[in-house]
Structure 1
Amino acid sequence: MLVLFETPAGFALFKVLDEGKLSSVEDLWKDFASSDKARKVVELKAFNKFENTSDALSAATLLIDSKPSKGLRKFLQKHCDGETLAVADSKLGNAIKEKLQIDCLHNSAVMELMRGLRNQLTELMSGLAEHDLGPMSLGLSHSLSRYKLKFSPEKVDTMIIQAIGLLDDLDKELNTYAMRVREWYGWHFPELTKIVADNIHYAKAVKMMGNRVNAVNLDFSEQKKWKQS
C-alpha cells in the first residue's frame, strides 16, 4: 500500500512497510511517537516537487474540488502500478479511481496514518527541513486565500464555514489529547480525575505536580490564577 501525502513543497508517496499496524487505529499514533518508530512503518518511495508557487497553487485549487492535477496524475501513473493508494479525501480517491483505475482507500486508519506522517514529516523526508516547510506553507496559504477571494467572491462565506469547521476539529483534537493525559496520568494518580473536572486545569495540575507525592507541598489556590489566565 502507498500513501499519498500533500506538502507545500510537492506530493509525496510513502510505502507502508507494515500494513498490519493499520488494524489497530487507536494504537497507531504510538508508531509515530519517534522518527525511528515511524521509519519502521513507512518509507518515502517518491516525491514530486512543485516547480514554483504557481504550480503549487494550481494543484492546491484542484485538490479543494477533489480533482487531481495533470502533474499528480502522471506522478501516480508512474509509481502506483498495482498498488492500493491511501488518500485523505474520499472524493479525490474516487476521481483517481475513475481516471487512473488505481484502487484508493480512505478510512479512520488512513486518517490516523496521515496524522502520524504529518508529525514526523521532516524526519521521514530528507532535504525537507521544518524551518523551510513553515514559509512554504504560509506562502501557499496566502496565495490560495487571494485566489479564493479573487475568483469566488460569492463564496466568501465558505471560508467562514471552513474556519468554524477547523475550530470544531481543533476542539475535538484537544479533547482527544486531554483524554490521553487523563488516561496516562490516571495510572499514577487516579483520584485526580474526580478532583479536577476541567481539562485545562487538570493538565496544569499535572504539570505543576509531576509526581503525586508533591501534591502535599503545593498551593492549589493558584487555580484562581488559572481561571483568570
Structure 2
Amino acid sequence: MEEKPIAKGKVAVEEEEYEDRDDDDGAQLGNGGVILVLFETPTGFALFSYDGIKLLRPHALMHPVWLKDFQAFEDKASALSLDTGVSEQLAGMIRRFICPGQTLAVGKQEYVTIIQSNLGIKCLWNAEVMELMWGLNNLKEHLVPDGKSELSKEDCLPMCEGMKFTLNKYGFGDLKPEMVTRSIIEATGLLYETDYHVRKHGESMRYAGKHLKKISGINAEDWDLLKLATAIMMLCYPNGEYKLVGNLPELFGDDYSKLVDDAPKYKGIFRKLSCLRAYAEMVRSRRIRSKAARRLDSLVTAAERIYDELGSTSAARSDQTRVTLHCSYYARLHLHALVFDADIKSVW
C-alpha cells in the first residue's frame, strides 16, 4: 500500500488550532474573554477587569488585573445577600462597568444565584476563580483603597494550587503560606508564564518530531522542546539566516550532520515565519525564566531567614504583619531588578 505524503504546513496548522481554542474560550466568556471580577473587601466591593481566558490554563496563576472601581458600603452585609438581593448601590456599580455579554466572576457560590436572578448578569464561580480571589486577597494592600486591613487566616491559607504547583516544580515546596509576599507571588507568576510560553508550542513541536523520524530517522521523542524548536529552525533556515542559541554540533551530536544534510528534504513542510516566531518566544522565555528562578530563590531565602529570626511560635505568627513588611522590603529590591532585567512586557 502506498504511503501517504507528509502533510505540508502542519506545524503552523497546529498553532492556528491553538489560537482557535482561545477564540472559543473568549466566545464562551463573552467580551473577547475579558471578564469583570467582583472582589469583596472588609468595607466594600471592588471591580477588576481580567483576562478570563488565562483562568482556563492548567495550574493557572494570577495575571495582571485592572481596578475599575471601589466603593465602601455602610451596610455591606445587606449589599449582597439571599434575603435582600443586590443593593441599589452595588447594582449601579456593576451595571456601570459590565459590558453586554460579559461574565462577572464572584467569590462565593451564592453570589451567582443572587446576581443572576436579580440583575440577569452571567456569573462565574469555580476553583479557578477562587485561585484568582486568593491572589487578590494577598495583593489587596496594593490594589484597593482599604487593602491595608489585615488578612484573615482564611484569606491567606491554604496557598492556591497554581502557586503550590509552580513552587514545587522549582524546589520551593516547603515555603510556608504565611511567608508569601507580593513579590514572591509575582516572581512565581513570571516563572509560570515563561513556562507556559514554551509549553504552549508543545503539540506542534512534537508533531514536527514525527517529520524528523520519518525523513531523517531521528528520534526526538525525549528532546526538550527548545532543542526540538532549534532543530526545526535549522531545517527552515539551513543557510544560517538566523543565529541559533547554543553549540549546535554539541547539542545534537551525531544527529547534527543529518539535520544539515537533510535540510533540503524539508523544503515546504514547515511555515518558516510561524516556526521563527515560536522559536524566538521560547528562547526569550527560557532566558527570563533563568533570571526569575534566581530571583525567586533569593526572595524565598530572605523570607525564610526573616521568619526564622522572628521565630515560628504562635506569638510570632500572630505578628504576621512584621514578617510581611520585612519580606516585602527585601522582595521589592529584588523585584525591581527582575523587572528591569527581564522586560516582563515582552512575555505577558
Q: TM-score, normalised by structure 1?
A: 0.49
Q: TM-score, normalised by structure 2?
A: 0.34
